[in-house]
Amino acid sequence: MQKGVTVSLMKLDLDLSSTELFNFTSSKINFLIESSNLIFPFKDFVLISDDNFDIKVFKWDGILINIIDKVEAITPTEQKRIVIDEAFYIVDTCYFFIETQIFIK
């Protein structure tokens, strides 16, 4: 759920009500929750990827533990944002298809 630049990660309860697990915000202008958002839940953390902001890794209590931000591209002045395009599991291992998008400063 998004209100302005604050995004809340919600849990759907058995009675179909919802409970906020945590929320986060960003000062990015294009900060928008939409169909390109991907949420990957793991036992100890949750990873959130989107084409509008850097990949964020949170503990389940909402503590931000990592931001996977831009990587250098072909030229030093060009940087690319890492975006997880797709994910799948084989046995107990999660694999990601990574896409890089040109990021203009």
Domain boundaries, the chain: 2-103
Long-range pairs for 26-29: beta carbons < 8 A, 24 or more residues apart: 26/53, 28/52, 28/53
Give the tens place of pLDDT for each residue, 21-73. 888 886 665 556 666 778 888 889 998 887 777 788 999 999 999 888 766 55
What confidence score (pLDDT) does residue 32 get? 61
Q: How confident is the model at residue 17 (pLDDT cuts 50, 70, 90)?
A: very high
Q: How confident is the model at residue 101 (pLDDT cuts 50, 70, 90)?
A: low
What confidence score (pLDDT) does residue 71 get? 61
CB 5 within 8 A of CB 26: yes
Q: How confident is the model at residue 105 (pLDDT cuts 50, 70, 90)?
A: very low
Asked if residue 10 has pLDDT above 60, the reply is: yes
Q: Which of 26, 103, 29, 38 lies closest to 72 in space, CA to CA?
A: 103
What confidence score (pLDDT) does residue 104 get? 43
